Chain A
Protein backbone atom coordinates (compact mmCIF):
# COMPACT_ATOMS: atom_id res chain seq x y z
CA UNK A 1 0.00 0.00 0.00
CA UNK A 2 1.17 3.55 -0.66
CA UNK A 3 2.55 5.62 2.20
CA UNK A 4 -0.49 7.94 2.16
CA UNK A 5 -2.89 4.99 2.22
CA UNK A 6 -1.08 3.50 5.20
CA UNK A 7 -1.13 6.86 7.00
CA UNK A 8 -4.88 7.20 6.37
CA UNK A 9 -5.53 3.71 7.71
CA UNK A 10 -3.31 4.00 10.78
CA UNK A 11 -4.76 7.35 11.82
CA UNK A 12 -8.34 6.25 11.16
CA UNK A 13 -7.61 3.43 13.62
CA UNK A 14 -6.08 5.84 16.15
CA UNK A 15 -9.13 8.12 15.85
CA UNK A 16 -11.56 5.23 16.25
CA UNK A 17 -9.68 3.85 19.23
CA UNK A 18 -9.57 7.13 21.10
CA UNK A 19 -12.27 6.79 23.74
CA UNK A 20 -12.24 9.44 26.44
CA UNK A 21 -10.36 11.95 24.34
CA UNK A 22 -7.04 13.71 24.77
CA UNK A 23 -4.82 11.66 27.03
CA UNK A 24 -6.69 8.48 26.31
CA UNK A 25 -5.27 8.57 22.80
CA UNK A 26 -1.72 8.14 24.09
CA UNK A 27 -1.77 4.33 24.41
CA UNK A 28 -3.28 4.04 20.92
CA UNK A 29 -0.71 6.31 19.36
CA UNK A 30 2.03 4.45 21.21
CA UNK A 31 0.73 1.09 20.02
CA UNK A 32 0.34 2.10 16.37
CA UNK A 33 3.42 4.26 15.91
CA UNK A 34 6.03 2.93 18.35
CA UNK A 35 5.19 -0.66 19.24
CA UNK A 36 3.90 -2.08 15.97
CA UNK A 37 5.35 0.17 13.28
CA UNK A 38 8.55 1.82 14.55
CA UNK A 39 7.61 5.12 12.90
CA UNK A 40 8.65 6.80 16.15
CA UNK A 41 11.24 5.93 18.80
CA UNK A 42 10.36 6.12 22.53
CA UNK A 43 12.12 9.49 22.61
CA UNK A 44 10.32 10.68 19.47
CA UNK A 45 7.05 9.65 21.09
CA UNK A 46 7.76 11.73 24.20
CA UNK A 47 8.60 14.64 21.85
CA UNK A 48 5.24 14.39 20.10
CA UNK A 49 3.39 14.39 23.41
CA UNK A 50 5.31 17.45 24.65
CA UNK A 51 4.86 19.30 21.35
CA UNK A 52 1.14 18.49 21.36
CA UNK A 53 0.73 19.74 24.93
CA UNK A 54 2.44 23.03 24.10
CA UNK A 55 0.42 23.76 20.97
CA UNK A 56 -3.32 24.32 20.57
CA UNK A 57 -5.65 21.51 19.56
CA UNK A 58 -6.43 17.91 20.49
CA UNK A 59 -3.48 15.60 21.07
CA UNK A 60 -4.57 13.09 18.42
CA UNK A 61 -4.86 15.84 15.81
CA UNK A 62 -1.45 17.26 16.74
CA UNK A 63 0.15 13.82 16.60
CA UNK A 64 -1.47 13.13 13.22
CA UNK A 65 -0.19 16.38 11.71
CA UNK A 66 3.31 15.90 13.15
CA UNK A 67 3.81 12.25 12.24
CA UNK A 68 2.08 12.69 8.85
CA UNK A 69 4.44 15.55 8.03
CA UNK A 70 7.55 13.63 9.09
CA UNK A 71 6.60 10.65 6.98
CA UNK A 72 5.13 12.24 3.83
CA UNK A 73 5.32 16.03 3.96
CA UNK A 74 2.31 18.36 3.78
CA UNK A 75 0.23 15.75 1.92
CA UNK A 76 0.93 13.25 4.68
CA UNK A 77 0.02 15.78 7.36
CA UNK A 78 -3.29 16.55 5.60
CA UNK A 79 -4.25 12.91 5.04
CA UNK A 80 -3.41 11.87 8.62
CA UNK A 81 -5.25 14.84 10.16
CA UNK A 82 -8.34 14.32 8.01
CA UNK A 83 -8.59 10.65 8.77
CA UNK A 84 -8.05 10.92 12.55
CA UNK A 85 -11.12 13.23 12.66
CA UNK A 86 -13.36 11.89 9.91
CA UNK A 87 -13.30 8.19 10.83
CA UNK A 88 -14.73 8.55 14.37
CA UNK A 89 -17.25 11.20 13.22
CA UNK A 90 -18.80 8.67 10.86
CA UNK A 91 -19.40 6.42 13.86
CA UNK A 92 -20.78 9.28 15.95
CA UNK A 93 -23.10 10.41 13.14
CA UNK A 94 -24.43 6.89 12.67
CA UNK A 95 -24.91 6.43 16.42
CA UNK A 96 -26.82 9.71 16.70
CA UNK A 97 -29.12 8.54 13.96
CA UNK A 98 -29.71 5.20 15.72
CA UNK A 99 -30.16 6.71 19.20
CA UNK A 100 -32.72 9.17 17.83
CA UNK A 101 -34.89 6.20 16.86
CA UNK A 102 -34.09 3.92 19.81
CA UNK A 103 -36.74 2.65 22.24
CA UNK A 104 -36.66 3.33 26.00
CA UNK A 105 -35.27 -0.16 26.69
CA UNK A 106 -32.30 0.47 24.45
CA UNK A 107 -31.69 3.87 25.98
CA UNK A 108 -31.19 2.27 29.43
CA UNK A 109 -28.76 -0.21 27.90
CA UNK A 110 -26.74 2.57 26.29
CA UNK A 111 -26.69 4.31 29.67
CA UNK A 112 -25.34 1.20 31.44
CA UNK A 113 -22.67 0.76 28.81
CA UNK A 114 -21.58 4.35 29.30
CA UNK A 115 -21.22 3.86 33.04
CA UNK A 116 -19.20 0.67 32.50
CA UNK A 117 -16.93 2.59 30.17
CA UNK A 118 -15.87 5.13 32.82
CA UNK A 119 -13.57 3.02 35.05
CA UNK A 120 -12.09 1.29 31.99
CA UNK A 121 -11.23 4.65 30.44
CA UNK A 122 -9.65 5.74 33.73
CA UNK A 123 -7.45 2.63 33.73
CA UNK A 124 -6.38 3.50 30.22
CA UNK A 125 -5.58 7.07 31.24
CA UNK A 126 -3.38 5.70 34.02
CA UNK A 127 -1.50 3.59 31.45
CA UNK A 128 -1.04 6.76 29.37
CA UNK A 129 0.46 8.52 32.37
CA UNK A 130 2.77 5.55 32.96
CA UNK A 131 4.00 5.51 29.36
CA UNK A 132 5.07 9.15 29.50
CA UNK A 133 6.53 8.81 33.01
CA UNK A 134 8.59 5.78 31.96
CA UNK A 135 10.68 7.85 29.54
CA UNK A 136 11.91 9.98 32.47
CA UNK A 137 13.56 7.33 34.65
CA UNK A 138 17.34 7.13 35.02
CA UNK A 139 18.39 10.73 35.66
CA UNK A 140 18.01 12.28 39.14
CA UNK A 141 17.81 15.80 37.67
CA UNK A 142 14.56 14.84 35.93
CA UNK A 143 13.15 13.71 39.29
CA UNK A 144 14.07 17.06 40.85
CA UNK A 145 12.46 18.99 37.97
CA UNK A 146 9.31 16.87 38.11
CA UNK A 147 9.06 17.55 41.85
CA UNK A 148 9.51 21.28 41.12
CA UNK A 149 6.65 21.29 38.61
CA UNK A 150 4.53 19.36 41.10
CA UNK A 151 4.98 22.15 43.64
CA UNK A 152 4.25 24.92 41.12
CA UNK A 153 1.09 23.39 39.67
CA UNK A 154 -0.94 24.11 42.81
CA UNK A 155 -0.76 27.85 42.02
CA UNK A 156 -4.02 29.23 40.66
CA UNK A 157 -2.22 30.92 37.77
CA UNK A 158 -0.61 27.71 36.50
CA UNK A 159 -3.85 25.79 36.90
CA UNK A 160 -5.36 28.14 34.33
CA UNK A 161 -2.41 28.20 31.96
CA UNK A 162 -0.67 24.83 32.34
CA UNK A 163 1.18 25.32 29.06
CA UNK A 164 3.32 27.97 30.80
CA UNK A 165 4.65 25.22 33.06
CA UNK A 166 5.72 23.28 29.97
CA UNK A 167 7.68 26.26 28.69
CA UNK A 168 9.32 26.83 32.08
CA UNK A 169 10.19 23.15 32.49
CA UNK A 170 11.55 23.07 28.93
CA UNK A 171 13.80 26.05 29.58
CA UNK A 172 14.96 24.50 32.85
CA UNK A 173 15.83 21.45 30.75
CA UNK A 174 17.98 23.54 28.41
CA UNK A 175 19.78 25.10 31.40
CA UNK A 176 20.37 22.06 33.58
CA UNK A 177 20.42 18.93 31.42
Chain B
Protein backbone atom coordinates (compact mmCIF):
# COMPACT_ATOMS: atom_id res chain seq x y z
CA UNK B 1 0.00 0.00 0.00
CA UNK B 2 1.53 3.37 -0.99
CA UNK B 3 2.40 5.79 1.80
CA UNK B 4 0.04 8.49 0.51
CA UNK B 5 -2.96 6.12 0.72
CA UNK B 6 -1.97 5.13 4.25
CA UNK B 7 -1.82 8.80 5.20
CA UNK B 8 -5.23 9.50 3.63
CA UNK B 9 -6.82 6.44 5.22
CA UNK B 10 -5.73 7.55 8.70
CA UNK B 11 -6.57 11.16 7.98
CA UNK B 12 -10.13 9.98 7.41
CA UNK B 13 -10.05 7.93 10.60
CA UNK B 14 -8.65 10.89 12.52
CA UNK B 15 -11.23 13.32 11.17
CA UNK B 16 -14.36 11.24 11.67
CA UNK B 17 -13.91 9.42 14.93
CA UNK B 18 -15.63 11.32 17.68
CA UNK B 19 -15.99 10.25 21.26
CA UNK B 20 -12.76 8.28 21.40
CA UNK B 21 -12.33 4.89 23.06
CA UNK B 22 -14.51 2.02 21.97
CA UNK B 23 -16.50 3.96 19.39
CA UNK B 24 -13.25 4.79 17.65
CA UNK B 25 -11.94 1.21 17.60
CA UNK B 26 -15.08 0.04 15.80
CA UNK B 27 -14.58 2.60 13.05
CA UNK B 28 -10.86 1.84 12.68
CA UNK B 29 -11.61 -1.88 12.36
CA UNK B 30 -14.16 -1.26 9.61
CA UNK B 31 -11.74 0.95 7.65
CA UNK B 32 -8.79 -1.42 8.02
CA UNK B 33 -10.82 -4.35 6.81
CA UNK B 34 -12.43 -2.70 3.79
CA UNK B 35 -9.72 -0.27 2.66
CA UNK B 36 -6.45 -1.83 3.80
CA UNK B 37 -7.67 -5.44 3.32
CA UNK B 38 -6.28 -6.72 6.61
CA UNK B 39 -7.78 -9.92 8.02
CA UNK B 40 -10.02 -9.83 11.12
CA UNK B 41 -7.49 -11.91 13.07
CA UNK B 42 -4.68 -9.49 12.31
CA UNK B 43 -6.84 -6.53 13.33
CA UNK B 44 -7.94 -8.25 16.56
CA UNK B 45 -4.30 -8.95 17.49
CA UNK B 46 -3.45 -5.29 16.94
CA UNK B 47 -6.38 -4.17 19.09
CA UNK B 48 -5.31 -6.29 22.04
CA UNK B 49 -1.82 -4.81 21.86
CA UNK B 50 -3.12 -1.27 21.35
CA UNK B 51 -5.35 -1.41 24.43
CA UNK B 52 -2.99 -3.35 26.67
CA UNK B 53 -0.15 -0.88 26.20
CA UNK B 54 -0.04 2.68 27.50
CA UNK B 55 -0.95 5.58 25.27
CA UNK B 56 -3.98 6.70 23.29
CA UNK B 57 -5.48 3.57 21.67
CA UNK B 58 -6.01 5.26 18.30
CA UNK B 59 -2.37 6.36 18.13
CA UNK B 60 -1.15 2.88 19.07
CA UNK B 61 -3.48 1.38 16.49
CA UNK B 62 -2.19 3.74 13.77
CA UNK B 63 1.38 2.86 14.68
CA UNK B 64 0.75 -0.91 14.49
CA UNK B 65 -1.35 -0.87 11.33
CA UNK B 66 1.02 1.53 9.55
CA UNK B 67 3.96 -0.69 10.46
CA UNK B 68 2.18 -3.78 9.15
CA UNK B 69 1.28 -2.02 5.86
CA UNK B 70 4.54 -0.27 5.03
CA UNK B 71 7.11 -0.54 7.81
CA UNK B 72 8.25 2.36 9.97
CA UNK B 73 7.56 4.94 7.24
CA UNK B 74 3.99 3.61 7.17
CA UNK B 75 3.72 4.06 10.95
CA UNK B 76 4.86 7.63 10.63
CA UNK B 77 2.32 8.47 7.88
CA UNK B 78 -0.51 6.76 9.78
CA UNK B 79 0.30 8.66 12.97
CA UNK B 80 0.49 11.98 11.15
CA UNK B 81 -2.88 11.33 9.52
CA UNK B 82 -4.48 10.38 12.85
CA UNK B 83 -3.22 13.42 14.71
CA UNK B 84 -3.54 16.31 12.26
CA UNK B 85 -7.37 16.60 12.22
CA UNK B 86 -7.91 16.62 16.01
CA UNK B 87 -4.90 18.91 16.50
CA UNK B 88 -6.21 21.56 14.11
CA UNK B 89 -9.80 21.26 15.35
CA UNK B 90 -8.84 21.80 18.98
CA UNK B 91 -6.47 24.62 18.09
CA UNK B 92 -9.24 26.49 16.27
CA UNK B 93 -11.89 25.70 18.87
CA UNK B 94 -9.76 26.41 21.92
CA UNK B 95 -9.08 29.90 20.57
CA UNK B 96 -12.81 30.48 20.41
CA UNK B 97 -13.39 28.84 23.78
CA UNK B 98 -10.75 30.94 25.52
CA UNK B 99 -12.12 34.07 23.86
CA UNK B 100 -15.68 33.45 25.05
CA UNK B 101 -14.63 31.87 28.35
CA UNK B 102 -16.47 34.36 30.52
CA UNK B 103 -19.69 34.33 28.56
CA UNK B 104 -22.38 32.64 30.67
CA UNK B 105 -23.91 30.88 27.65
CA UNK B 106 -20.68 29.02 26.92
CA UNK B 107 -20.44 27.81 30.50
CA UNK B 108 -24.09 26.71 30.23
CA UNK B 109 -23.36 24.90 26.98
CA UNK B 110 -20.48 22.92 28.47
CA UNK B 111 -22.41 22.14 31.63
CA UNK B 112 -25.28 20.84 29.49
CA UNK B 113 -22.91 18.80 27.33
CA UNK B 114 -21.36 17.34 30.49
CA UNK B 115 -24.75 15.72 31.23
CA UNK B 116 -24.47 13.83 27.95
CA UNK B 117 -20.79 12.99 28.61
CA UNK B 118 -21.74 11.35 31.90
CA UNK B 119 -24.37 9.17 30.22
CA UNK B 120 -22.10 8.19 27.32
CA UNK B 121 -19.18 7.35 29.61
CA UNK B 122 -21.52 5.51 31.97
CA UNK B 123 -22.67 3.25 29.16
CA UNK B 124 -19.15 2.42 28.02
CA UNK B 125 -18.02 1.72 31.58
CA UNK B 126 -21.04 -0.51 32.16
CA UNK B 127 -20.44 -2.65 29.08
CA UNK B 128 -16.66 -2.83 29.62
CA UNK B 129 -17.13 -3.90 33.23
CA UNK B 130 -19.66 -6.55 32.29
CA UNK B 131 -17.14 -8.07 29.88
CA UNK B 132 -14.10 -7.85 32.15
CA UNK B 133 -15.73 -8.81 35.47
CA UNK B 134 -19.04 -10.51 34.55
CA UNK B 135 -19.98 -12.25 37.81
CA UNK B 136 -16.46 -13.46 38.65
CA UNK B 137 -15.94 -12.33 42.24
CA UNK B 138 -12.14 -12.06 42.05
CA UNK B 139 -12.38 -9.69 39.11
CA UNK B 140 -15.17 -7.75 40.85
CA UNK B 141 -13.03 -7.38 43.98
CA UNK B 142 -10.17 -5.94 41.93
CA UNK B 143 -12.57 -3.65 40.06
CA UNK B 144 -14.01 -2.30 43.33
CA UNK B 145 -10.60 -1.92 45.00
CA UNK B 146 -9.14 0.12 42.12
CA UNK B 147 -12.30 2.24 41.76
CA UNK B 148 -12.60 3.06 45.45
CA UNK B 149 -8.89 3.77 45.79
CA UNK B 150 -8.94 6.28 42.92
CA UNK B 151 -12.14 8.00 44.04
CA UNK B 152 -11.35 8.35 47.73
CA UNK B 153 -7.59 9.06 47.72
CA UNK B 154 -5.13 11.19 45.77
CA UNK B 155 -3.01 8.20 44.81
CA UNK B 156 -1.47 8.31 41.32
CA UNK B 157 -3.59 6.23 38.92
CA UNK B 158 -0.55 4.27 37.77
CA UNK B 159 -0.01 2.90 41.28
CA UNK B 160 -3.70 2.12 41.66
CA UNK B 161 -3.53 0.18 38.40
CA UNK B 162 -0.29 -1.62 39.31
CA UNK B 163 -1.76 -2.44 42.73
CA UNK B 164 -4.92 -3.78 41.09
CA UNK B 165 -2.95 -6.03 38.72
CA UNK B 166 -0.80 -7.36 41.57
CA UNK B 167 -3.89 -7.99 43.69
CA UNK B 168 -5.54 -9.85 40.80
CA UNK B 169 -2.44 -12.01 40.21
CA UNK B 170 -2.21 -12.82 43.93
CA UNK B 171 -5.87 -13.97 43.97
CA UNK B 172 -4.90 -16.60 41.41
CA UNK B 173 -6.91 -18.16 38.62
CA UNK B 174 -10.69 -18.00 38.75
CA UNK B 175 -12.31 -21.27 39.88
CA UNK B 176 -14.25 -22.95 37.13
CA UNK B 177 -18.05 -22.52 37.42
Which positions in A face B, CB cutoff 8 Å? 15-23, 25, 27-28, 31, 35, 43, 46-47, 49-62, 65-66, 69-70, 74, 77, 81, 84-85, 87-89, 91-93, 95-96, 112-114, 116-133, 135-136, 142, 145-146, 148-150, 153, 161-163, 165-174, 176-177
A92 CB contact (under 8 Å) in B49, B83, B167: B49
Q: Are A61 and B59 in contact (CB under 8 A)?
A: yes
B55 CB contact (under 8 Å) in A51, A87, A96, A163: A87
Given the known inter-chain contacts A46-B110, A53-B20, please indicate yes or no for A85 contacting B150, CB distance below 8 A: no
Q: Are A162 and B54 in contact (CB under 8 A)?
A: no
**Total residue contacts A-B, CB cutoff 8 A:** 332
Q: Which residues of B contact A87 (CB under 8 A)?
A: 55
Q: Which residues of A contact B91 (CB under 8 A)?
A: 65, 69, 74, 77
Q: Are B150 and A127 in contact (CB under 8 A)?
A: yes
Which positions in B face A, CB cutoff 8 Å? 14-24, 48-60, 63-64, 79, 82-83, 85-87, 89-91, 93-95, 97-98, 105, 107-125, 128-129, 131-133, 138-140, 142-147, 150-151, 154, 156-158, 160-161, 164-165, 167-169
Residue of chain B at shortest CB distance from A113 = B165
A-B contacts, 17 of them at CB < 8 A, read: A21-B56, A25-B56, A49-B114, A53-B116, A56-B86, A65-B86, A69-B90, A87-B55, A91-B53, A119-B164, A121-B161, A122-B143, A127-B146, A127-B151, A142-B111, A163-B19, A171-B112
Q: Are B132 and A118 in contact (CB under 8 A)?
A: yes
Q: 4 tightest A-B contacts by CB?
A: A173-B112, A57-B86, A88-B55, A22-B21
Q: Which residues of B contact A146 (CB under 8 A)?
A: 115, 118-119
